[in-house]
Amino acid sequence: MSVSPVDLLNAFNQHFGQFLPDVAKSAHEDVQQQAKAALSSIISKLDLVTREEFDVQLEVLRRTREKLDSLEKRVVELEAALQAKSEQGDQA
């Protein structure tokens, strides 16, 4: 008596089908854990900063920009004063 492949698969499903949901769930959890570990490893190798560090640097940059703008304005004023003084000296 020979058993067809279809009958063999049906028998397999009947005997082991009841364990499949647990096995699938366990495999799914294992895959999730492995994916999280791989992703964490990749992220830890990247040159990333936290949001807090980013916000601190953004504030530093904002203050630096304000100082630069102020200094640029002061240089323009000093150059104008120097130019005016130079013109007064040329007229005398």
So what's the pLDDT on residue 36?
86
CA–CA distances in Å: residue 87 to residues 73, 76, 82, 92: 21, 16, 9, 9
Question: Two tokens at 55?
Answer: 């916000």
pLDDT digits (tens, 9 = 90+) for 43-65: 788 888 889 999 999 999 999 99
Distance of CA 88 to the CA centre of its chain: 59
Question: Two tokens at 84?
Answer: 């005016």
Rounded-to-integer distance, Cα 71 and Cα 65, Å: 10
- For the chain, which residues score pLDDT lower than 50? none
CB burial of residue 75 (10 Å; 0-12, 13-18, 19+)? exposed
